Amino acid sequence: MLDNQKYLSDFEAKKMICEIGRRVYAKGFVAANDGNISVKTGPNAIWATPTGVSKGFMTPDMLVKVDLNGKVLAGKLKPSSEIKMHLRVYKENPNVNAVVHAHPQAATAFAIAGIGLDQAYSPEGVILLGNVPVAPYATPSTQEVPDSIAPYCKDYNAVLLANHGALTWGRDIMEAYFRMESLEHYAMTVILTKKITNQVQELTCEQLTELIKIRENMGIKTGGTLTCRTDSPERPDGQTPGQAVQEADKQDLIQTIVAKVTEEVMRRLPLGH
């Protein structure tokens, strides 16, 4: 099978990994030596972050080149022990050319709680991310981790790692990074909305359908399915607008009937009474 992918050069890939490393560190998506980043530069070549190095202070000479089986092809340092997770994404989804793993606080809070982001709350969340499921808990750095994420690599754009962090991927390094940034922003927005108002309103299924069409027109075929609202927004009294109208019509009908019955009773009363 011919490989028609357009890859970054080794120089470009290493430069971009260091840039994204500075961004995730500056935003607080990682602490100390947490997280890892990789970019595919050929059918069987990946540049990745090394183990034991802060993502905010990397230089290109620190990075490691490996093949799809994890064999080191270039570089003086050892690859991250979590490189297996990245390699599994590449093997499961040939359209992926970059992977980002981090521990952003809001998204990780959902991961620790075991709660996926599977409800349609905002257009940005639907279009940029879609459904973000929670992969089963797996011991870090073991084969359990790539096995836990394998079912999600083809149909989704991101996954929460139970009690651990988040993983995003994309057709290029910027898409993979922006998905991580969007994931954290979305997770924080949901947390704040629930904390401040104690309620979050889903988009309607009709609205969700329109957003998915937009997403597909952007060339994004992944994202999974989200839950949506099948009825109209509720009123403060707990009724939907449709229910409120029906109730008002019912009351009007009752009043009309009562008035007509009263009129008929009065008409039939003997004169003088």
- 3-class state of residue 81 by DSSP: coil
CA dihedral angle for residue 105, residue 23, residue 169, residue 144, rounded to 10 degrees: -50
The answer to whether the CB of 176 falls within 8 A of the CB of 117 is no
| Confidence at 235, pLDDT banded by 50, 70, 90 | very low
Model pLDDT for residues 33-58, shown as the tens digit of each residue: 999 999 999 999 999 999 999 999 99
* Of residues 239 and 45, more confidently modeled: 45
82 is catalytic: yes
Closest by CA to 101, choosing from 38, 15, 14, 28, is 38
Q: Please give the CATH topology (third level) of the domain spanning 10-218.
A: L-fuculose-1-phosphate Aldolase (3.40.225)
Closest by CA to 202, choosing from 226, 175, 177, 169, is 226
Q: What is the pLDDT of residue 193?
A: 93
* Whether pTM exceeds 0.85: no
Q: What is the pLDDT of residue 176?
A: 98
User: Which is catalytic among the residues 12, 19, 82, 144?
Assistant: 82
Cβ-proximal residues to 105 (8 Å cutoff; 6+ apart), any chain? 28, 184
* Of residues 200 and 109, more confidently modeled: 109
Model pLDDT for residues 174-198, shown as the tens digit of each residue: 999 999 999 999 999 999 998 888 8
Neighbours of 20 (CB within 10 A): 24
Q: Where are the domains of the chain?
A: 10-218
Q: What is the pLDDT of residue 264?
A: 62
Q: What is the pLDDT of residue 270?
A: 58
Model pLDDT for residues 84-129, shown as the tens digit of each residue: 999 999 999 999 999 999 999 999 999 999 999 999 999 999 999 9
Model pLDDT for residues 3-36, shown as the tens digit of each residue: 667 899 999 999 999 999 999 999 999 999 999 9
| Average pLDDT rounded to a whole number, residues 220-241 | 72
